[in-house]
Amino acid sequence: MARCEVCGNDYGMSFEVHAQGGVHVFDCFACAIHRMAPICEHCRVQVIGQGVEADGQWYCGAHCARAEGKAGIVDKV
């Protein structure tokens, strides 16, 4: 068993996420999202879907990126 780094639950079906050279342990996807999802630079919502990355910053969509002055950003959905 391994302890979730977000909630501290010691759970037999925990899982590891290997990202950017680090290893993270979670007991559920909700905890993994809480810890690892980027935050939109404009509206501060967690970006769980594809989102938009512009100049090294994350946005939940093109609307928020444009609101922050990022030109030429369009949604591809």
User: For residue 46, how many other CB atoms are within 10 A of its CB?
Assistant: 15
pTM of the entire predicted model: 0.77
15-64 confidence digits (pLDDT tens): 999 999 999 999 999 999 999 999 999 999 999 988 999 999 999 999 99
How would DSSP label each residue in 55-68? TTEEESSHHHHHHT
Question: Of 45, 46, 63, which is closest to residue 54 (Cα–Cα)?
Answer: 63
β-partners of residue 31 are: none
